[in-house]
């Protein structure tokens, strides 16, 4: 009798525990590709992307934006890709997951396979990404995400020519704000993004995406180590609560997933009143420097010693890092690494601390970026412009591999949360 009672109880408990959540999570796995880049390119590419993002953001806020507006490139050292289906029956394409641009396009690698759902819009598309570009034709087609969620009539670009993109992917899944698509398709004001149409077709409750990336120190190509969920967050991928922050009003960061924040290194304040963006398409975390100031900003500067100490100079001095020519990154001795302090991004009173281990490039991957085995390189680099221009920082993969991130279009906010690997020793 007791057995039966307990079996019933157990059955009840199990059914409660396995009650379906309101709506199944729409999850798309992400894979990390670490490429070998030539010496120094990791920093140059990151700075070029920053320049392109800033430039595109400024142009988008002006009424007289030229046509087509340049939008950001995707830098080379590491990319995250998602497998997306296009057509019916669908063909799978590996697309770069990019929160810094908003056009979705295919045709860089695998050619477009047309099916009955392919519909040429009659319009040309062209997007310039700073160092790369593609042009082609805009189609609408059925797009399949994850294990079968379909969006019908999704606008996608099909490249007939592209340059400046390395292999390993078939195009880009643009997850940035729709405004960044302005003037990319002939005769069309804005091109609805994949998340816009998931939302307008009521496939997701809220127009948001959440991204979980995990740090890796392996050279295995195509490592599945992340996921993106559409419409809902996945509680299995973060710890504690998600903190939400309104998109900054400071232009041009306001054109992206930008937030107002400050930075401390250990207890030392190194940046205040800054606006910066979270960006899945940037490998590094970039902070402002005063070193390359132009004369018009600081006309009185004549000696090097007069140069203002911006966040990067302060960080460099405090860590003791020296600029390493081959990689372009700051290099530490093991003693300096042992003394490394947390780098804290303080957003609206909440602190997101990059642990010492989170601040360094995975040592197993040193050779991939033109570095030497056994050396310690910092992934926090110089954005190449002084603070105060409205685009002070980029919190790239080295940040996003430690914190869960939410891109909430419905509520115009960015969410961040700790993860089980925020403070893990991986690198
Ligand atoms: C193709 O697009 C046109 C206009 O954009 C639309 O009227 C037509 O229904 C579409 N056809 C398919 C098969 O989706
Ligand atoms: C895509 O989304 C936009 C804006 O949310 C909407 O205007 C458009 O009708 C949608 N297209 C389809 C095919 O659902
Ligand atoms: C790689 O990371 C794992 C933990 O995820 C760790 O055990 C291992 O020692 C790391 N390897 C290197 C070479 O850093």
Global pTM? 0.87
Last residue of a domain, one of 188, 208, 228: 228
Residue 2: band (very low, low, confident or very high) from pLDDT cuts 50, 70, 90: very low
Token output for 248: 């900054």
Listed range (22-31, 86-95, 246-255, 304-313) with the worst mean pLDDT:
304-313
> Residue 32: inside a domain, yes or no?
yes
CB atoms within 10 A of CB 373: 8
Same-domain pairing of 271 and 211? no
Residue 225: band (very low, low, confident or very high) from pLDDT cuts 50, 70, 90: confident
pLDDT digits (tens, 9 = 90+) for 14-60: 444 444 445 678 999 898 888 766 666 788 888 888 888 888 787 76
Last residue of a domain, one of 178, 200, 228: 228
> Residue 18: inside a domain, yes or no?
no
Residue 309: band (very low, low, confident or very high) from pLDDT cuts 50, 70, 90: confident
- For residue 52, the model assigns a pLDDT of 83
Task: Indicate whether 302 pLDDT > 80.
Answer: no
> Residue 15: inside a domain, yes or no?
no
- For residue 13, the model assigns a pLDDT of 45
Q: Tell me if residue 64 is catalytic.
A: no
Our answer on whether the CB atom of 268 is closer than 6 Å to any ligand 3 atom is no
Task: Indicate whether 163 pLDDT > 90.
Answer: no
Structural domain harbouring 383? 236-296+305-418
Listed range (285-294, 315-324, 361-370, 391-400) with the worst mean pLDDT:
285-294
Our answer on whether the CB atom of 217 is closer than 6 Å to any ligand 3 atom is yes
Task: Indicate whether 10 pLDDT > 60.
Answer: no
CB atoms within 10 A of CB 164: 14
pLDDT digits (tens, 9 = 90+) for 57-76: 877 666 554 443 444 444 45
* Rounded mean pLDDT, 225-246: 95
> Residue 17: inside a domain, yes or no?
no
Same-domain pairing of 199 and 249? no
Q: Taking all residues of the chain, what is their mean pLDDT, rounded to a whole number?
A: 86
Count structural domains, the chain. 2
Last residue of a domain, one of 228, 247, 276: 228
Residue whose Cα lies nearest atom 1 of ligand 2: it is 197
Same-domain pairing of 286 and 218? no
Same-domain pairing of 149 and 223? yes
Q: Which residue has the higher pLDDT, 427 or 129?
A: 427
- For residue 265, the model assigns a pLDDT of 98
Half-sphere exposure of 425 (CA within 13 A, CB side): 2
Q: Tell me if residue 98 is catalytic.
A: yes
> Residue 12: inside a domain, yes or no?
no
- For residue 61, the model assigns a pLDDT of 65
Same-domain pairing of 179 and 261? no
Same-domain pairing of 391 and 265? yes
User: Which ligand 3 atom is at minimum distance from the Cα of 364?
Assistant: 13
- For residue 19, the model assigns a pLDDT of 45
Our answer on whether the CB atom of 204 is closer than 6 Å to any ligand 2 atom is no
Q: Is 222 left (phi over 0), alpha (psi -120 to 50) or beta?
A: left
Q: CA Rg, the chain, in Å?
A: 22
Which is it for the CA torsion 74, 280, 61, 274, positive or negative?
negative
Q: What percent of the chain has pLDDT over 70?
A: 83
CATH of residue 354: 2.40.70.10
pLDDT digits (tens, 9 = 90+) for 96-148: 999 888 999 999 889 999 999 999 999 999 987 656 788 999 999 999 998 88
| Ligand 2: centre distance to CA 126 (Å) | 21
């Amino acid at each position: 009798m007791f057995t039966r009672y307990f079996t019933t109880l157990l059955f009840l408990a199990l059914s409660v525990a396995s009650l379906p959540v309101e709506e199944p999570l729409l999850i798309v796995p992400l894979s990390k590709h670490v490429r070998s880049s030539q010496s120094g390119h990791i920093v140059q590419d990151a700075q070029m992307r920053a320049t392109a993002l800033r430039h595109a953001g400024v142009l988008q806020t002006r009424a007289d934006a030229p046509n087509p507006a340049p939008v950001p490139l995707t830098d080379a050292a590491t990319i995250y890709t998602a497998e997306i289906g296009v057509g019916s029956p669908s063909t799978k394409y590996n697309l770069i997951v990019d929160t810094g641009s908003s056009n979705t396009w295919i045709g860089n690698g695998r050619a477009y396979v047309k099916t009955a759902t392919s519909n040429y819009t009659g319009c040309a598309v062209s997007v310039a990404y700073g160092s790369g570009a593609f042009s082609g034709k805009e189609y609408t087609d059925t797009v399949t995400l994850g294990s079968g969620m379909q969006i019908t009539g999704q606008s996608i670009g099909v490249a007939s020519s592209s340059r400046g993109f390395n292999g390993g992917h078939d195009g880009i899944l643009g997850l940035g704000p729709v405004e960044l698509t302005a003037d990319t398709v002939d005769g069309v004001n804005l091109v609805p993004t994949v998340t816009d149409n998931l939302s307008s077709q009521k496939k997701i409750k809220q127009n948001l995406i959440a991204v979980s990336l995990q740090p890796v120190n392996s050279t295995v190509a195509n490592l599945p180590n992340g996921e993106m969920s559409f419409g809902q967050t996945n509680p299995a991928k973060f710890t504690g609560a998600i903190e939400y922050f309104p998109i900054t009003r400071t232009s041009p960061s306001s054109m992206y997933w930008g937030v107002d924040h400050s930075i401390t290194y250990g207890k030392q304040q190194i940046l205040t009143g800054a606006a910066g963006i979270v960006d899945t398409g940037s490998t590094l975390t970039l902070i402002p420097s005063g070193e390359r100031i132009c004369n018009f900003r600081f006309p009185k500067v004549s000696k090097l010693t007069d140069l203002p100490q911006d966040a990067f100079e302060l960080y460099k001095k405090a860590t003791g890092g020296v600029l390493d020519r081959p990689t372009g990154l700051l290099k530490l001795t093991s003693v300096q690494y042992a003394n490394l302090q947390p780098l804290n991004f303080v957003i609206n009173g909440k602190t997101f601390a990059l642990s010492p281990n989170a601040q360094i490039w995975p040592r197993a991957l040193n050779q991939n970026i033109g570095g030497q085995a056994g050396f310690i390189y910092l992934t926090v680099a110089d954005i190449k412009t002084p603070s105060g221009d409205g685009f002070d920082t980029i919190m790239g993969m080295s940040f996003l591999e430690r914190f869960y991130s939410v891109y909430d279009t419905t509520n115009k906010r960015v969410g961040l949360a700790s993860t089980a690997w925020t403070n893990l020793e991986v690198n």
